[in-house]
Structure 1
């Protein structure tokens, strides 16, 4: 399994989880050994994530916390304050990674402006690492021009067996930028896939474990979410799973460009 030196290959996602549900998910995950937690301002659950972390007793130094700045806060005079608000909700002085969640709709805020503000937040010690999410290649080029590729710790994108996003992932790799796969299980669609099921049987694994292992074996980080403790525990078992070259080739052939997250008014023109 490969990963950026400072970026965990495996973490917990919290998209769509609210209230006590997200508290329980984070608490169970931390109890099971997860140490990377991914949230976002727009998820409306930063305070609950912060509460679950505080209640867990896990030392802050052992954790990797990611949040994402929402589009309303991208302007240069708003981004830093919005991140400070996130830190207060998360009950921490610094997050490990802050991402631009989506590019500014209609380019209302130029990439150079919000990346500059994000770099300023990093310089002030509010975030250890910075990165982007849901960019296309053209926007990635702009972000690189603004702060340099070496400052961009990761690019988080929808990436699963049915949407392998090779153009943008390959461009990121060529620039030394790590990729984080979200929606690696395609909203659960991969769980019934016959090819993945066949590979899973051969390894004594689950289809979810196979999909997660596939992404990690390609060098991507994964952040699957679950509200069930047994699924959280099962997902962790993807980490030591090693797929064969034939397995990887069979999964590569499943790509059909099936994009599940494409919000109108937010999404860029995808590669």
Structure 2
């Protein structure tokens, strides 16, 4: 929800919302990224949006079979479980909670953050202050086409977004599809869209987005030997079924619908 993000000041939102309303209501089709945001726009503007999620392309099998060797890259023990966050290091994403939670991760689990951003320096200081230099590691942002190779090396992904705005509260981050596309389960903040996938698909666990102990407990649950394979199977299945190659058909269908409507209108005219 663009205008509900933290990017805008109050007066900017008040200025832009009438413009958003005008174009939403005049559009032949409105595409939204998830059910929750579709419902808000329906109530707010009276439009019936088409849900088109930010699914990624299917990850090639050779990437899954031969991921980036993060263990060698960071000099980690071969048996270490990698708890991965990938994306911007920004405020409102709960990364300080992730760092704090790392102290209570299971023995042998290492937190790896792949990305860059304004919070990199403060997160580095937090790692040092908590004495977690040997358990929390940073890798600078990589090119998009390289990312899946890093993702596939992890045991579990993390989506720690905090509800600091309506946009964050209703988010369905790309990370859901990036993690599961690489066949790894994830832990996520207990927010509506993320909770829905965790509940319905069995490939994730949720936690209070402000609670480090809750995050640690969710990671521990997924890494528990008796549950680990179950989560991985569910993640791999969800990843196979939710790719851009399939999701794009929704967009094509909507374009064909509009083209048909316009053709009929032109013929009748």
TM-score by length of 2: 0.37
> When you count helix as a share of all residues, which structure comes out higher?
2
Give the TM-score normalised by structure 1: 0.37
Q: Which has the larger radius of gyration?
A: 2
